[in-house]
Amino acid sequence: MLFPIIVMVLSGIAGSYAHSGEKIVCYSLSHAVQLDGKWTTAEEWIDAAEVSTAAVCIRVKHDEARMYVLIDHVADPQIDRSPSINEGDLCWIYADPNHDGGEKLQPDDYGFGARWAAQTLTLMMAKGAGGNWTMMAPISGFEARSSSDQSTNPKTTSPHVSYELSIPKYIIANPTVGARFSVRDGAKGVFRQWPIQSRPIEPDTWADLEFSALPIGEFSMSQLPLIALICLSVTTFFLKIPPRRSSARPGRPMGETS
């Protein structure tokens, strides 16, 4: 009886995901982000949830005004610059703020990107229009940095390209939004993305990004009844187990044998 109850309760916590079925929770930050394109300290991103593939690690967190994203492109060992948008290293974060998915892009869908141009890292923004992406001027407050210095990265110090992005939350202001992350290694001309099977112009294939008002590791008040039910189920289970007979003889202190 206990097992079905716990499975039912945990299913209730997880909820039903839309779109690809992938999900990442964006927790409230405990450590401020220094936007320099990398793990500035070993603690900077430990308060963020992570999703990863063999080639890319992604972490997200937020404060009152901004969402922060760290993308470790661990499979890209060096920065490749190019004056062309079709070459060179870059990253994109796609967001579906209305979380209405669809087989085609819609006007509420945005792309936030950064690419290594000939001299500097260049910000990019795109907007859904006519089922495809249309480039637009980056909004005020959107920032990004990139680095290949991983000397303070607590996960791996081998050189690779990483990105940090800061996105104003007013443009993605919903408790749950659709999201997709991608990077390109210019040297190889390959894109890598999460969710792995997602497509850039099909929001139905993106993940759910759920904002939490709490830091990572803390429970929300809405989950307390479910947690209480789990505790009650466990207590009921153990109360039904008959007590073992004591092997101690009458009149002899417990634990004392001869």
- Which residues of this protein are in contact with Ca ion, per CB under 5 A? 34, 36, 40, 76, 80, 89, 96, 98, 100, 106, 108-109, 185, 187
Total Cβ atoms within 10 A of residue 253: 6
Nearer of residues 108 and 208 to Ca ion, judged by Cβ: 108
Contacts 24+ apart (CB under 8 A), 130-134: 131/104, 131/105, 131/201, 132/105, 132/201, 133/105, 133/200, 133/201
Residue with tokens 């495809």: 132
Using a 10 angstrom Cβ sphere, with 0-12 exposed, 13-18 middle and 19 or more buried, the burial of residue 235 is exposed
- Reading phi first (left if > 0) and then psi (alpha if -120 to 50, else beta), residue 21 is in left
Nearer of residues 9 and 71 to Ca ion, judged by Cβ: 71
Shortest reach from residue 78's CB to Ca ion, in Å: 5
Shortest reach from residue 234's CB to Ca ion, in Å: 42
Nearer of residues 23 and 99 to Ca ion, judged by Cβ: 99
Shortest reach from residue 21's CB to Ca ion, in Å: 18
Nearer of residues 9 and 99 to Ca ion, judged by Cβ: 99
Using a 10 angstrom Cβ sphere, with 0-12 exposed, 13-18 middle and 19 or more buried, the burial of residue 162 is buried
Residue with tokens 């390109």: 184
Shortest reach from residue 42's CB to Ca ion, in Å: 11
Nearer of residues 96 and 210 to Ca ion, judged by Cβ: 96
Which residue minimizes CB distance to Ca ion?
A: 40
Shortest reach from residue 14's CB to Ca ion, in Å: 23
Shortest reach from residue 254's CB to Ca ion, in Å: 58
Nearer of residues 72 and 185 to Ca ion, judged by Cβ: 185
Q: Give the three-state DSSP class for 199.
A: strand
Q: Give the three-state DSSP class for 169.
A: helix
